[in-house]
Structure 1
Amino acid sequence: MPPKSILITGCSEGGIGDALAREFRARGLTVFATARNVSKMKALEPLGIHTLELDVTSEPSIAAAVGKVRAITGGQLDILFNNAGVQHAFVSLLIPTKGLVATIGSVNTVFNPPYQVAYNASKAAVTAIGHTLRIELAPLGVLVVTVITGSVRSKLFDNADEACKVPPNSLYCPLKERIEKRDFLDNARWTDAEEYAKQVVSDLLKEHPSPVLWRASFAFMERMLNIFAWPGMMVSLR
């Protein structure tokens, strides 16, 4: 029997996708690691990982990636890990294997750390999309898992430096240095990307994975708040 196959989006070196690709490969899976810039995945190639160019905002790029995976696997895919977001194009490969789609949510949807409104909102949307797709894909035999992720040490913010710059006419210019240094994260507890990947890979390779996983620092706390706390408790009133 051939090994299971997985495609992971967003696998640039030093990120969560990179760590996941390494761990899935270590467990014996055929791994397709993707990123917009293939040169940022050079370290994965000696491990026997297929590296593919994939811009999730480009339909031609998505179609090309699907074609390459189809050619190598014979038209099947067991797991799609949406670290950077694309699922519709690969569903036809997942249905024959009764496969799995995993998406990365975030504890930010409850903690709402400041100065990250676009990121927080996007992760809230990812969670909602995951819950909806779980219902839509269930009749097709495809499971959707949402991985609510806490603080993971990666290059996420290094890759977002320009987006975190404070404009010269911003009302928050007095806080420019603090916002751009992101020192409000200095005291956060972090989980190493490698440890996070080991936890998540073990979860997803179970015979019956949970549809919602809570992994890395602060994830358990967010789960408890999500169940028991009134959302207004997270808002400072004046």
Structure 2
Amino acid sequence: MNGIETLHQWMQESERVVFFGGAGVSTESGIPDFRSTDGLYNQQYDYPPEQILSHTFFMRWPEEFFRFYRDKMLAPSAKPNKAHRALAKLEEQGKLTAVITQNIDGLHQMAGSKKVLELHGSVHRNYCMRCHKFHSMEEILHSEGVPRCSCGGIIKPDVVLYEEGLDQQVLQESVDQIRRADMLIIGGTSLTVYPAAGLLDYYTGNRLVLINKTATARDGLANLVINESIGKALEGFL
């Protein structure tokens, strides 16, 4: 039995499946990841992306931050791919209890997933730093320079920048979901970014599945490793 057949069998036998995904889930929708050879971290800018996407940089040079953010972090034309749609279907069937994602693109919700825990926030939520009024992604996209609220405050995307902590409520709920899971599928992540990568340590079951095109640092802990794209591995559930 090959890896994908085993995945299907385990899915049938499991009752509480949790999916934890990274950038590789969205690359098939045309959203570049950060760490691949042609990812954002290997492109040339006046400043490294890690620096631009830091809290300090945002506060000090907001105009430069938003120039990069609009250009590289927003993908308004991106659509859910096979992986997003398969996960939404599994949730609809009562198999999948939660999607935990490091992505900020909102594609899981667009595909129909209801229980999505966004560790790093979402580009679809933006708030005025002064009056906390909500603003849409479209407002940010079509603004110029530093986007400002009608009250005059700067609008900040609800995404976790470098130097900022994760939302503790989202993190705790993610931990709870993983603890209760009888099957944990991790896909499209190199498992190198903490604290997110440490979440799999809370899984105590014996159906840990790692799906990634290349090897990850935690392959040795997995009960099943599938070196394939997420879309290819999950398309059989559509």
Structure with more helix by fraction: 1
TM range (shorter): 0.3 to 0.5
Per the normalisation by structure 2, the TM-score is 0.39
Per the normalisation by structure 1, the TM-score is 0.39
Q: Relative contact order (alpha carbons < 8 A, sep ≥ 6): 1 or 2 greater? A: 2
